[in-house]
Structure 1
Amino acid sequence: MFPRFPVQRLVSGYTAAIGIVLALLITADLELYRAWGFRLDDTPLQYLNSPTEMAASAGSAPLLLLALALLTLVGGGWWLYRKVAGHLAPLPAWFGRGRATLAALLYATLLVVPLRGGTQQIPVNQSDVYFSRIAFANHAAVNAPWNLMSALVLRAAERPPQPFMADSTARRLVATIYPRAVGKPAPADSSASILAEARPNVLFIILESFTAKLVGSVGGEVGVTPNLDSLARTGVLFNNIYAAGDRSQKGLVSLLSGYPNQPTTSIIKFPRKNEHLPHLCRSLTAAGYSSRYYYGGELAFANMKSYLQTAGYDQLTERNDFAAADQNSKWGAHDGALFSRVLSDLKQQPQPFFVTAFTLSSHEPFEVPMKPRYPSTNEADLFRNSVAYTDATLGQFLRQARQQPWYAHTLIVLVADHGHVLPGNSSNQSPAKFKIPLLLAGGALRPEARGRIISTLGSQTDVAATLLHQLQLPAAAFHWSRDLLVPHAVPFAYYCFNNGFGSVTPNGTITFDNVSRQVWERDPAVTDAQLQLSQAMQQVSLEDFARK
């Protein structure tokens, strides 16, 4: 017979080793947070090649106090382990090795649940513990060792790819579109006001997957979005706008912070980075606006909640804040319930307000509580039905909103978070997948501005500066955003897809694959200068992302 494997010694040794490592990480985090202002992540690893500088940096640390904290954690943890392990009853004689093995496999399988933070739809991330507009309070709720492992997993995505050109050349090219992104002043070029009052309420509605392909007023299919198209005839329509990325969380950052996307990750996943981004909510709060954010789903998705929490919204309303009967979608509450909640709450919302509402019914699996307008069960028609449903609930909301006192003093911003491959199964890099509608409407518009169509070619990131300038508020902090209503706006849009990027100008579109380092598609009239500008946009924006 084989000798009994020393499982107890192995478990005790493993527990002791892990306990010491965790205690070291927690102790180091205490000092690093005092010095750096953020929780322990992979940043210290960047200094392993300079141990002398590391030692010098630690020279002012209260080493005796930290050593005492370390010993307390290790000693207390070991005492607690022995206290618990010493009271475990031995296995009965009839519980043989076979059963013990099966039980061990079952326990190991069950560990998947705490590893992902529970059985909920979205795995655990920083958003699950962020609860305050005060950064320190949110940081205090984060588990430091977990934060380190999360940063290590995401670390590879932070590395900028090999540069295309000298930094000075790249910055000079980017300055022609976004001068503030490279530290240069923006040229003087003011836009005429389209608002009847300086500081109206702002209702910012983000439409899930509202591709331009299904919006007739911007050249898409006619009849899918009759309410949005009708509103466009009395609003200010931007018919040449492109999403900066292809995911909801990326669109959120582009719209609310005016920040470009990254090809292999998103800055929203890095709380330490996105805390330094500007935000429309923060800008409007400083100008006296109250604020609220609405979403029918879970804000923990893709770490959206931590981003929104630090933005300073007065209140966040998400899935669990809706009645159980209204949570009638796989993702949460359908858009009918969302708009009803917004309409009800706006009666008590202090003015001026900045209210953001993000729809979700037009997200896969495209199941909506409405009689199908398109009877086919193919995926494209299911998508059309879901977009038509959101448009119908939007129309109902607007008809009721016009009867409310606040409507006459409100600017409504309607814009998509991103486009979609459907209908037509656009390729991953196709500009048709990224084209989206942007519409300004509401009672705060000047009468002479109604019905105006703006054909300036622009990006989703440009919405922030365009809005702030209309509100007569500074937009200098939004380095990657520009006013699309100025007379001399350069027609240009840059977007990212999975490990690649593209740009659109009046000459056409060019797309580039980062893996092969080759042009993917290129329209005949596209110049080498456009390719260089696109490469410079990625190079400079990723350098900015890495520095955050």
Structure 2
Amino acid sequence: MKQAYLRPVIYFFFWLFVSVVIKALFIGYHYTKAAELTFLEIFKVFLYGLRMDASFAAYLCAVPFICFLLESLKKHLYLYRLVNGYTFLIILVVAGLVTADLEMYNAWGYRLDATPLQYLNTPQEMVASVSAAPVFLLTAIFLLLVILFAVIYHRVVNPLLKKKNNAYFSKGSRVMAFCCLALLIIPIRGGLQHIPINQSDVYFSNKLFANHAAVNLPWNVLYSLNRRNYAAQNPYKYMAMGQARKYVDSLYVLPASADNQNISVLKSTRPNVLFIILESNTAKLVGCLGGEPGVTPHIDELAREGILFTNIYSSGDRSEKGLVALLSGYPVQTTTSIIKLPRKTEHLPHLSQVLKAQGYGTSYYYGGELAFANIKSYLLNAGYDRLVSKFDFPSKTYNSKWGVHDHVLLNRWLTDLKNDKQPFFSTLFTLSSHEPYDIPIPAKFAGSDEATKFKNSMYYTDYAIGNFIEEAKKQPWWNNTVIVMAADHGHRFPGDDPNFKPSKFRIPFLLTGGALKQAYPPVSIIGSQTDIVPTLLHQLKLPTEQFKWGKDLLNPATKSFAFYVFNDGFGYVTPAGTITFDNVAKQVITKDYNVPPQQLNYGKAYMELSFEDYLNK
């Protein structure tokens, strides 16, 4: 009687069992890598991976659960043979994917995803990648998996799925089948959280193998197929690659005397570093950048105390893109983002890694969900010692949508920094100036329109930062601390800028803190987010070769330019003006009067070469 009601549950747990087995097989097959993990870390592989395993199982249950519901509605309808055929087909596919992944992981260093599709026209390249694979062993594993899962399903699960008596089309069985089908959406999404599950949700360790092992392999393949992140060819082929490289290289070549022109602005080459990333902070509302006065009085004051860079542009228009540009000095892609592919971000340089190697303690603070856009996997690949997110705060401190109010996050940051060993490197990402622009203080500016709400949210974030700085100046570590402050991207308000307009991408960037020797006049060189890490590292007397897409903004010999991307287009800014280009229509959108024709070639070359680099990561 009970099995009539529990058919959906039994079928779901069969696929959950399959997921656990293939995870154990992956760990066992790569036992030399697994030997580096502790017993607790191996346990966490299964524990953290359980949500993705459940998501995979839920996807596979959709068709059978519909069949169970239909059977419960009609007495003489028998669909279990359809369910059996469907299940055995999936078993074959899963076993094939799992077997291929075992050896491809050895060859490529990342879990199987949609990447092999780019080799369909040149299968010899894929074969070459795994030419030393133990074919007989892998064939045996494939057959054993098929036999194991098929036998367990046939002997244990299938007998419980067949309709045998009136209980299988009773009201209770009908209600159970309907509820199970409706509730599949919860495990499919990975829970009730705001953001659907992605790879970041199962990443938990600084050890790459542990994170890779926690990923559900079939889910990863389906996710990658859905995201279409496997572009086989560079769609931005505007010139010969050699010519593109000459254009881009010329932007970073300095005269031999340039090393003697470096400006040193810090009292020490080993200061504490606080990196504040400002959500959606646009230069149009920053008074010291010529924006509307009165919105950012505290940032304006900090700019007067430190160094303000007046012509800095975000590399893209999304938070996850800006994060990579700011912390890895890496260019942004147009219609995708490298952060969505953890196997690519593993190859990026990270400011955190550089400073950690110098003995810095590292931490990252964000009031929202780190799983958003795979940010957590990026941060774990960066090797941060401590990650703090909304789940480390009581729910009463949340705003209506994203997470913790900025002043709460900054207060927690200040408290933790008091106990951190020096030198420390800590990153904080604000969020209150993200729509819906909820703020916990009375509005400064009257109005209920979206532009005014955004302006009030920027004022609130500035207010929270001002309070933080006031308290930070009282701390013993202040005199040996440099603060890097920059936005993740700009904003269309005020003015409702079109997506390509350079004013939408112009952002604040400043250096301040007790570690600066003095206040300095504003720096007018045109630059990008990708220039911030090299500029800081030059001040710390550390190598910058890894960050090849950036330049030192404090070197007078540095060339003045910025490159940014929007949805399948780019903008290129120089002292002569800005040119914007549509990569789809292959035509110029806007061109300032003094922009020379050659400037478009530099933009095309940068677009082509940076995307080629992304494909090769």
1:167 aligned residue: 241
1:320 aligned residue: 391
1:454 equivalent among 482, 500, 523:
523
Amino acid at match of 1:391: D
1:206 aligned residue: 277
The reply on whether 1:63 has 2:135 as its aligned counterpart is yes
**Residues 364-417 of structure 1: CA deviation (Å, up to 9, x unaligned):** 001110011112111111011100110001000100111100111100011100
1:114 equivalent among 187, 202, 217:
187
Counterpart contact for 1:465–1:478, Cα < 8 Å: yes
Counterpart contact for 1:249–1:304, Cα < 8 Å: yes
Q: For structure 2, which runs of at least 5 residues remain unmatched after alignment?
A: 1-73
Which region of structure 1 is more displaced relative to structure 2, 155-164 or 276-285? Answer: 155-164
Amino acid at match of 1:465: P
Counterpart contact for 2:84–2:158, Cα < 8 Å: no
The reply on whether 1:478 has 2:478 as its aligned counterpart is no
Which region of structure 1 is more displaced relative to structure 2, 432-441 or 505-514? Answer: 505-514
Q: CA deviation at 1:98?
A: 11
2:119 aligned residue: 47
Counterpart contact for 1:410–1:443, Cα < 8 Å: yes
Correspondence 1:285-304 to 2 at 5 A: 285-304=356-375
Distance 1:530 1:50 in 2: 37
Query: Alpha carbons of 1:179 and 1:138: their partners in 2 closer, same or farther (altered >3 Å)?
Result: farther
Correspondence 1:124-523 to 2 at 5 A: 124-155=197-228, 158=231, 159-178=233-252, 188=259, 190-447=261-518, 450-523=519-592
Q: CA deviation at 1:109?
A: 4.4
Q: CA deviation at 1:269?
A: 0.5
**Residues 451-509 of structure 1: CA deviation (Å, up to 9, x unaligned):** 42111111111001000100111010001011000011111011000111001111111
Amino acid at match of 2:249: A
Distance 1:497 1:286 in 2: 35
Distance 2:487 2:595 in 1: 27
Amino acid at match of 2:225: L
Q: CA deviation at 1:103?
A: 7.4
Q: CA deviation at 1:142?
A: 1.0
Amino acid at match of 1:234: E
The reply on whether 1:528 has 2:589 as its aligned counterpart is no
Q: For structure 1, which runs of at least 5 residues remain unmatched after alignment?
A: none
Q: Percent identity?
A: 53
Q: CA deviation at 1:128?
A: 0.3
Which region of structure 1 is more displaced relative to structure 2, 508-517 or 297-306? Answer: 508-517
Distance 1:6 1:178 in 2: 70
Distance 1:89 1:321 in 2: 47
Which region of structure 1 is more displaced relative to structure 2, 400-409 or 3-12? Answer: 3-12
Query: Alpha carbons of 1:185 and 1:84: their partners in 2 closer, same or farther (altered >3 Å)?
Result: farther
Query: Alpha carbons of 1:185 and 1:209: their partners in 2 closer, same or farther (altered >3 Å)?
Result: farther
Query: Alpha carbons of 1:137 and 1:398: their partners in 2 closer, same or farther (altered >3 Å)?
Result: same
Q: CA deviation at 1:68?
A: 3.0
1:31 aligned residue: 103
Question: Which protein is richer in helix relative to its size?
Answer: 2
Counterpart contact for 2:107–2:130, Cα < 8 Å: no
1:78 aligned residue: 150
SS of the residue corresponding to residue 276 of structure 2 reads strand
Query: Alpha carbons of 1:40 and 1:235: their partners in 2 closer, same or farther (altered >3 Å)?
Result: same
SS of the residue corresponding to residue 217 of structure 1 reads helix
Counterpart contact for 1:189–1:487, Cα < 8 Å: no
Distance 1:357 1:141 in 2: 27
Which region of structure 1 is more displaced relative to structure 2, 102-111 or 428-437? Answer: 102-111
The reply on whether 1:17 has 2:89 as its aligned counterpart is yes
Query: Alpha carbons of 1:507 and 1:52: their partners in 2 closer, same or farther (altered >3 Å)?
Result: closer
Amino acid at match of 1:383: F
Q: CA deviation at 1:113?
A: 2.9
Distance 2:179 2:386 in 1: 42
Amino acid at match of 2:242: S
Q: CA deviation at 1:300?
A: 0.2
CA-based RMSD:
2.4
Q: CA deviation at 1:312?
A: 0.5
Distance 1:409 1:531 in 2: 44
Amino acid at match of 2:142: L
Distance 1:292 1:475 in 2: 21
Amino acid at match of 1:443: G
SS of the residue corresponding to residue 160 of structure 2 reads coil
Counterpart contact for 2:479–2:515, Cα < 8 Å: yes
2:48 aligned residue: none
Query: Alpha carbons of 1:56 and 1:435: their partners in 2 closer, same or farther (altered >3 Å)?
Result: closer
Which region of structure 1 is more displaced relative to structure 2, 72-81 or 422-431? Answer: 72-81
Distance 2:351 2:124 in 1: 43
How many matched pairs?
542
Distance 1:7 1:495 in 2: 55
Amino acid at match of 1:167: M
SS of the residue corresponding to residue 384 of structure 2 reads coil
Counterpart contact for 2:283–2:490, Cα < 8 Å: yes
Counterpart contact for 2:284–2:292, Cα < 8 Å: yes
Amino acid at match of 2:134: P
SS of the residue corresponding to residue 251 of structure 2 reads coil
Amino acid at match of 2:387: L
Distance 1:502 1:186 in 2: 31
Q: CA deviation at 1:101?
A: 8.8
2:26 aligned residue: none
Amino acid at match of 2:116: P
Distance 2:177 2:511 in 1: 60
Query: Alpha carbons of 1:179 and 1:120: their partners in 2 closer, same or farther (altered >3 Å)?
Result: farther
Counterpart contact for 1:157–1:264, Cα < 8 Å: no
Distance 1:315 1:230 in 2: 30
